[in-house]
């Protein structure tokens, strides 16, 4: 019993008084709340504006989408489409027709009108509750002028240990105008796409390069680097795929070459996002727009597709 009492007294002397514990807890609470600051700051927002997005091509009937902006902090709206707007379509500053509202913010030519290469097109949009907007005239480019397209020798892939060949595509740029190009390469096997790696063998193309950039598997080139001459773009194309452990080799290449408008090129370049972890450290960018009084892009392209049987 004596030993037990001694132990209890010893523990009580070592323990902190309840009052002191309460003061420490209160001090800690005040300290944490004192370090927290709430700033009542509203991010700048100039109000809702119209957004116009459309791609013009001689192969497609004119259609585009009209929507609205949203505060950077967001709100509870989920449907941003604008319906019931008046969308006037112009060719070389002459009114062609008003586009028809087809629902969900989409507007299309009621006559099935298709743009003509070399002509400039613009749009004026008026909607209730919004300031009217118009696009800067956009000229539809002519199809790309291509020279030789040659599947060359076998090379080593920079990605995988698979069968890979070099592909050369000759692009010719006119001297009198600045041209911009886009190239997509798709390996095929028995009519199905093979998802293999494509890489540019000449140099690393990044946003800001004067000659082009790579974005989402496509390659974009500026003709200002070879105006009035030709340029042989060379790619490495992986042609081997594995299904159930057995190799399949591509039996066809689909090559899509496009002439794209300058606005389209600048929009894609400014909106280009680096891959993987680099996205976390990229600086903010202002994405190119050619809509006066609002946002969005009216762009144009003209494509030429090549089927290369292997």
For 10-68, write each residue's pLDDT tens digit. Answer: 344 444 455 555 556 656 555 555 555 666 666 666 778 999 999 999 999 999 999 99
pLDDT for the residue 306 = 95
- What rounded mean pLDDT belongs to the chain? 83
Taking residues 149-172, report their average pLDDT. 94
Highest-pLDDT range among 174-183, 257-266, 279-288: 257-266
pLDDT for the residue 10 = 35
The rounded distance, in Å, linking the Cα atoms of 140 and 156 is 39
Taking residues 181-194, report their average pLDDT. 93
Sequence-separated (6 or more) residues with CB below 8 Å from residue 130: 48, 49, 50, 68, 82
pLDDT for the residue 202 = 75
Has residue 112 got a pLDDT over 50?
yes
pLDDT for the residue 27 = 60
Secondary-structure percent of the chain, ordered helix, strand, coil, rounded to 5: 15, 45, 40
pLDDT for the residue 1 = 41
Provide the whole-model pTM: 0.79
Q: How many helices (H) and strands (E) does the chain have?
A: 3, 21
Torsion angles phi and psi, residue 22, rounded to 5: -65, -40
pLDDT band (50, 70, 90) for residue 201: confident
Domains and CATH numbers, the chain: 50-139 (2.60.40), 145-286+301-309 (2.60.40)
């Amino acid at each position: 019993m004596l030993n037990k009492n001694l132990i209890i007294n010893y523990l009580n002397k070592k323990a902190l008084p309840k009052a002191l514990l309460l003061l420490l807890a209160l001090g800690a609470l005040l300290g944490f709340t004192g370090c927290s600051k709430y700033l009542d700051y509203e991010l700048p927002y100039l109000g809702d504006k119209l957004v116009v997005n459309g791609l013009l091509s001689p192969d497609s009937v004119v259609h585009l989408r009209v929507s609205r902006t949203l505060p950077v902090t967001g709100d509870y709206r989920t449907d941003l489409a604008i319906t019931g707007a008046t969308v006037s379509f112009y060719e070389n500053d002459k009114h062609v027709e008003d586009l028809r509202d087809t629902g969900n913010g989409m507007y299309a030519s009621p006559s099935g009108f298709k743009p003509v290469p070399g002509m400039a097109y613009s749009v004026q949009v008026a909607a209730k509750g919004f300031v009217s907007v118009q696009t800067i005239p956009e000229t539809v480019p002519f199809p790309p002028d291509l020279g030789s397209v040659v599947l060359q020798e076998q090379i080593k892939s920079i990605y995988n240990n698979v069968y890979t060949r070099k592909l050369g595509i000759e692009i010719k740029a006119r001297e009198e105008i600045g041209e911009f190009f886009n190239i997509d390469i798709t390996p095929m096997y028995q009519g199905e796409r093979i998802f293999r790696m494509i890489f540019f063998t000449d140099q690393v193309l990044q946003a800001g390069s004067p000659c082009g950039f790579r974005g989402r598997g496509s390659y974009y080139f500026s003709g200002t680097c070879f105006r009035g001459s030709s340029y042989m773009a060379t790619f490495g194309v992986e042609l081997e795929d594995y299904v159930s452990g057995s190799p399949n080799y591509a039996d066809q290449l689909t090559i899509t070459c496009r002439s794209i408008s300058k606005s389209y090129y600048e929009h894609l370049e400014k909106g280009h996002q680096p891959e993987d972890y680099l996205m976390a450290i990229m600086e903010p960018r202002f994405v190119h727009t050619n809509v006066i009084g609002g946002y969005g892009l009216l762009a144009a392209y003209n494509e030429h597709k090549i089927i290369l049987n292997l």
